[in-house]
Chain A
Amino acid sequence: MNLLTITIFLPAAGLLALLFTKDCKQARWIGMLGALATFVLSTFVLFKSVNLDPGEYALTADVAWITLGKFDVHYRIGVDGLSGILIFLTGLLAVSAALASWSIEKGTRGYWAMFLLLHTGIIGTFASLDLFLFYVFWEVMLLPMYFLIGVWGGPRRIYAAIKFFLYTLFGSIFLLAGILVIYFAVTSDPAFAAKGYNAFSIPDLTAYAQQARGGGGILANYGANAALVANLVFWGMFVAFAVKVPVFPFHTWLPDAHVEAPTPISVILAGILLKLGGYGMLRINFPFFPGVMKDAAFWIGLLGVINIVYGALVAMAQTDFKKMVAYSSVSHMGFCLLGFAAMTPEGLNGAILQLFNHGTISGLLFLVVGVVYDRAHHRDLNRFGGLLWKMPAYGTIAMIAMFASLGLPALSGFWGEFLAFVGSYKTDYYEGAKLITLIATSGLVFTAAYYLRAIQRVFLGKLNPAYESFPDATRRERVAMIALLVPTIFLGIYPKPLIAVYQPAVDAIRLFVG
């Protein structure tokens, strides 16, 4: 059996095992084992995805699923460097999040069932090479997330859960519309059929899109309105992914979801779910519509800058620790957009590095917030102080995480931002990139400001006597945080191995830039 298939469905198999558990302790261990096994398998997947040629996929499987004449949906999966590192990130965060889930007491079996189902959805989405399958996995993620926030979240969990659900579904219907339009346009296109391409195959559609075909691109056969429809579909799909990233102005679900979600779910939300947006853009949005992308680049770059600066400014205004971290995610995902829009090797490299590194760093930051919240039962930045003296190990990890997030050199957050800036500054893919990049750099100042202030308020200064009795991070908490701290430091010093894994994928994306 295909290793990737096992990786996708192993968490779901854990779901079946949960049916036979008797108490929460067993459920917890099954969940933990599921997460560990996912991590081990995802490591194998990562090793299989190195040294591929551009456009080549490893661990592929291709089984016909729904065959109705032209309507030919396959269970088509595979990994390249890009999906390989993101699946690995999923496995890594699964373990950290599982450790942080240890204290979940209410409805334990249900919690772990949703936790595992969520991972099947996530890994399936990264592994899909068939549009229909991609959409199915994409939507399979929604319901578990809704329950995880809605049942196990904070006081305003119901509002946050439904908001998350509605926003994400709102986005994904445009993805569905795009899939429907693409299906008709290419199946009625004799040139497409002559090449033996499949209307749902992502590699086939990518290859077809790169053979220049007038205003409508792959939609050239969608009648007289092809050019208009191509623009609509491009931006529709962009909205689908932008909601997940999240791109301003579709970001408002994120602070609510993050603040209300339990710590481990925030970790997964920030660490993985946001990456799915960026991944979707790189895998589907841009390669399918190279013609439209050229015109859209400026606007995407502009949205990136808005994300960076606006996210940082709003983060600066927060007094809630978790909300601050949530808005910092909005800000940091802006660098990905900036790098995407540039379409230079440096820009794309930076953006993808940022996808991975933001995954570990923001996951780590949410764990940091979780630790202090478990002890203080509030997250008000102004009521802490001097925790570093009381909790030295915790304080050190937390400060490293924050420095990594603000982009200090020698920590992993630096490289993504740096490369994105370089790539964006020197691109000639669209007009006005230099100005946009210069404005974006101001975001760095604001970011430094809010993190340094947070460090000062929480960890330095006078110890609040009420927190005199706080124990340092427990062994379980330390393991969860260190699991994410190691790649943060390692990739800060030596990011080359990671870049080498996904470099072919960058080359493949850049094929259409020419």
Chain B
Amino acid sequence: MVPDLGNLLGRFGAETVLALAIPAILLADLVGGRGRRGANATAVGLLALVAALLLVLFQGAADGAILTKLLVADGLAKVFRVLAIGTGIVAALAALRWGDAERGRAEFFVCLLGAVLGACLTAAANDLAMLYIAIETLSIGGYLLAGFRKARVEGSEAALKYVIFGAVSSGAMLYGMSLLYGFAGTATLTTPAGASFASLEGASGAAAGQPAFLVAVVLVFAGLAYKVAAAPFQFWCPDVYEGAPTSVAAFLAVASKGAGFAAILRFVGAVTAGTTPDVTATAGDVRVILLVMALLTMTVGNVAALRQNNAKRLLAYSAIAHAGYLLLGVAVTTAEGATAVVFYMAVYLFMTLGAFYMVGVVEKETGRADIDAFEGLGFRAPVLGVCMAVALVGLTGLPPTAGFVGKYFLLQQVFEYGGAHDSMLFFWGGVIALLNTVVSLGYYTRFLKAMYLCDLERMPKGPFRFAGVDKGLVVALTVPVLVFGVAVAGLYDVASELARGIFVAVGGGR
């Protein structure tokens, strides 16, 4: 097949722009005098990100076309690319506001654009090798960004931990991928003809019929779970979020996790598709593994978060817990489940980016990132207080925020699966997930307590600067959390349209 360049550029123009922008940033940095150092690179970087966002939004057709066997341009790819690039823009603005990129803006933007490019490709990868390369691109960008403030010990520690954990898990993933290639005889996840990866025949019989097929799938999960910070591969997450610049932590918590979930949805969709007994048996096992992983992840995240005092660490554990909630939607392997994941991911973007951004603002103003730094902020900076409260209520999953509706859709899938397949395991899984909400309230309210329930007399005096770009961005990130809590159907329809095609071919089973 001769790759149709026009089609490729038409659908993946954003990636092309990002890839070309990377050398352009380096060149732009060389042009111009010392006084303008970094300004050119910043301009090119931001411009490229905005151009890429517009290209995905308005140009990239989401028709499910598979290009050069490696990339698929479907709705899932589109939504997670928008998410990654959008997060990249917010992270870039945040980094510029807080001076996170002052060691070298050109270098920062190169790393950031590289990571965004990796995230976009991860979301669109339709081939095991492509998936691996895309994830590595995302990861390497992430490693460099995490340690960007080289002078800070925590930064270097964070980057090193990130690299070591990353190397181990991507090693496991690569091993799993090589086994899968052996079983199926191909690395393509979904063929243009729509044939299922699991029922493809390799050396001897259908792939899913091989005893070690499940082991190989679990090994790939290890790599993907690391990317989304799901238990038991979550250990790096708190240290990295704490040590990394806050803008980078926000990027990792949203864009990196989102790309990981796109890959998980696509991968699970491929290995569970089919109706032969071998495939349905495997699919049943995969569902149970994912459910257990989801419950473990959210419980570990929520319980560990209770004891944190550092706001960034706390949000890191909260991000782990949310990976657990999102995995519930994958575990049921239905199109509605995928829709719920996309819906929640969109909502999660606003809540988490907003929360991280506000932590960054507080960190910049007070020089501290512990919860006590929020003391009295509800009264000193009322807008920040209200926005933070909305983000936290959303993360807890209480109405009338979109966080509630998103969690509702995820849980609905779990209880439906329990009823439709007579599975008390899924029924109790849903109950455990709900109980986790109560646990999470315990730590989200610690922000509320610091912001509002403090002693007014002992409250720190002095002005708290929160205006201009910071205020505008925070409000812009908060309003959708409330709007989508009421105007649900619009977002859900979009999510359902975008997630169409995932899990359609999955057969029954346990």
Decide whether A and B assemble into one complex: yes
* Chain A residues at the B interface, C-beta cutoff of 8 Å: 65-68, 71, 106-107, 135-136, 139-140, 142-143, 146-147, 150-151, 157-158, 161-162, 165-166, 169-170, 173-174, 176-177, 180-181, 183-185, 188, 221-225, 228-229
Count of chain B residues with a beta carbon within 8 Å of a chain A beta carbon: 39
CA separation between A143 and B392, bound complex, in Å?
11
CA separation between A170 and B434, bound complex, in Å?
9
CA separation between A188 and B449, bound complex, in Å?
43
How far, in Å, is A496 (CB) from chain B's closest CB?
Answer: 39
Among A67, A107, A140, A176, point to the contact of B400 (Cβ < 8 A).
A140
Decide: A170 and B438 in contact? CB cutoff 8 A: yes
Decide: B438 and A169 in contact? CB cutoff 8 A: yes
Instruction: Flag whether B307 is at the interface (Cβ < 8 A).
Output: no
How far, in Å, is B125 (CB) from chain A's closest CB?
Answer: 30
**Known A180-B415, A184-B420: A139·B489 in contact at CB below 8 Å:** no
Chain A residue contacts of B416, Cβ below 8 A: 184
Decide: B427 and A229 in contact? CB cutoff 8 A: yes
CA separation between A223 and B425, bound complex, in Å?
13
**Known A139-B404, A150-B452, A157-B453: A180·B430 in contact at CB below 8 Å:** yes
Decide: A142 and B430 in contact? CB cutoff 8 A: no
* Closest residue of A by beta carbon distance from B399: A136
Instruction: Flag whether B393 is at the interface (Cβ < 8 A).
Output: yes
**Additional pairs, 18, CB under 8 Å, beyond known A158-B449, A170-B435:** A65-B488, A107-B379, A107-B456, A139-B398, A150-B448, A150-B449, A162-B445, A162-B449, A166-B442, A169-B398, A169-B437, A173-B437, A174-B434, A177-B430, A181-B427, A183-B415, A184-B415, A223-B419
CA separation between A180 and B415, bound complex, in Å?
7
How far, in Å, is A60 (CB) from chain B's closest CB?
Answer: 21
How far, in Å, is B419 (CB) from chain A's closest CB?
Answer: 4
How far, in Å, is A155 (CB) from chain B's closest CB?
Answer: 11
Instruction: List the 3 shortest-distance A-B pairs measured between CB atoms, nearest first.
Output: A223-B422, A173-B434, A136-B399
Decide: A146 and B379 in contact? CB cutoff 8 A: no
Q: Give 27 A-B contacts (CB < 8 Å), ordered by A residue.
A: A67-B489, A68-B489, A107-B456, A140-B399, A143-B393, A147-B453, A150-B448, A150-B449, A150-B452, A157-B453, A161-B453, A162-B442, A162-B445, A165-B445, A169-B398, A169-B441, A170-B435, A173-B434, A180-B408, A181-B427, A183-B412, A183-B415, A188-B419, A222-B418, A223-B420, A223-B421, A225-B427
Cβ < 8 Å to A, chain B residues 408-433: 408, 411-412, 415-416, 418-422, 424, 427, 430-431
Decide: B422 and A224 in contact? CB cutoff 8 A: yes
Chain B residue contacts of A224, Cβ below 8 A: 422
Chain B residue contacts of A185, Cβ below 8 A: 419
CA separation between A158 and B454, bound complex, in Å?
9
Decide: B399 and A181 in contact? CB cutoff 8 A: no
Decide: A188 and B453 in contact? CB cutoff 8 A: no
How far, in Å, is B231 (CB) from chain A's closest CB?
Answer: 21
**Known A151-B452, A161-B453, A224-B422: A139·B445 in contact at CB below 8 Å:** no
Query: For A67, A136, A158, A185, which residue has the most chain B Cβ atoms within 10 angstroms?
Result: A136
How far, in Å, is A124 (CB) from chain B's closest CB?
Answer: 10
CA separation between A223 and B434, bound complex, in Å?
21
* Closest residue of A by beta carbon distance from B423: A223
Decide: B393 and A222 in contact? CB cutoff 8 A: no
* Closest residue of A by beta carbon distance from B449: A158
* Closest residue of A by beta carbon distance from B440: A169
Chain A residue contacts of B399, Cβ below 8 A: 135-136, 139-140
Q: Interface 1/0s, chain B 373-406, versus A by CB < 8 A?
A: 0000001000000000100010000111000110
CA separation between A183 and B420, bound complex, in Å?
12
Chain A residue contacts of B496, Cβ below 8 A: 68
CA separation between A461 and B187, bound complex, in Å?
92
Decide: A221 and B419 in contact? CB cutoff 8 A: yes
Decide: A180 and B412 in contact? CB cutoff 8 A: yes
Among A68, A151, A166, point to the contact of B493 (Cβ < 8 A).
A68
* Closest residue of A by beta carbon distance from B379: A107
Decide: A173 and B424 in contact? CB cutoff 8 A: no
Instruction: Flag whether B317 is at the interface (Cβ < 8 A).
Output: no
* Closest residue of B by beta carbon distance from A161: B453
How far, in Å, is B492 (CB) from chain A's closest CB?
Answer: 6
Among A142, A158, A170, A181, point to the contact of B453 (Cβ < 8 A).
A158
Chain B residue contacts of A136, Cβ below 8 A: 399-400, 404
Decide: A181 and B415 in contact? CB cutoff 8 A: yes
How far, in Å, is A441 (CB) from chain B's closest CB?
Answer: 38
CA separation between A135 and B411, bound complex, in Å?
15
